[in-house]
Amino acid sequence: MAFEKEMQILVEAEKKRVPVGPISDVVPGGLSLDDAHRICERNIEKRIQAGEKLAGFKIGFTNLAVREKMGLPDSTYGYLLDPMLLKNGVKLSMNELIAPKIECEICFKLKGPLKGKGLSVEQVVQATEGVCASFEICDARIKDWKCPYNDFFADNGFSARVVLSGNWNSPKDFDFLNEKVVLTQSGKELAQGTGGLAMGHPAKAVSWLAGKLADRGKGLEAGQIVMTGTLTPILPIEKGTTYTASFSTLGKVTATFE
């Protein structure tokens, strides 16, 4: 099977909690974007065959200013499987992760499919059952989080865990652009942000994802969730602390790292 070796390198890195160098470095001539997708898709396929279920997707680097500062040509995405989804108030062992970082996001839950390119904000909102407060716990199997753009996709967009508040709000009349979040660490404020920082509108991020999945012959399905990108800086997680994201209308989501 093509790229089985490269896929297994990343699988073992996650299993052993020991990061590796970019996969691009072990592929003669470098890693194409299509090759990177194939490595990730094969990994996800094997995990589903082993009994895990596809829960949805995460979108990365939707903050355009941050993306440009890092010199990335586009945003990224990764797959979310059901074991990655955690409940509000979770206590998570740092021993399960390598070098995790935390993001505050608005998560979408779909009630209908979304497929194809150029979907409007209105089409995305109409297909959305609800939105909720959430954390994304990103983690890289790549050393020091440093890799070429294509490697983000090979490593499943640095997906690791998500924490959902569980309180789903109707998207109808929801102020996506001005929804505010304040992130605190054990009571100390770390950062603030608003919904408009996710690609100008979180629904635009969902539309972008649908378009990129269409390029791979895929689409979004009813019941899936979509993490639409961070509204706050991507910050390293410190052991022995509790993080709380307080949203203006979506409520709070918390997670403790032990």
Per-domain boundaries in the chain:
4-257
Average pLDDT, the chain: 96
Q: What is the pLDDT of residue 73?
A: 94
Q: What are phi and psi for residue 166, nearest 5 degrees?
A: 85, -5
pLDDT category of residue 244 using cuts at 50, 70 and 90: very high
d(CA 14, CA 75): 23
- Residues counted in the chain: 258
Mean pLDDT of 135-155: 96
Q: Please tell me whether the overall predicted TM-score, pTM, comes out greater than 0.85 for this model.
A: yes
Spell out the CATH class of 4-257: alpha beta
Per cent of the chain over pLDDT 70 is 99
Nearest alpha-carbon partner for 191 in 102, 255, 108? 102
Average pLDDT value for residue range 238-255: 98
Contact (Cβ atoms closer than 8 angstroms) between residue 24 and residue 31:
yes
Query: So what's the pLDDT on residue 69?
Result: 81
Q: How many whole angstroms separate alpha carbon 135 and alpha carbon 193?
A: 13
pLDDT, tens digit, for every residue of 51-87?
999 999 999 999 888 888 888 999 999 999 999 999 9
Q: Residue 10: pLDDT above 90?
A: yes
8 A C-beta contact, residue 153 and residue 41: no
pLDDT (0 to 100) of residue 1: 53
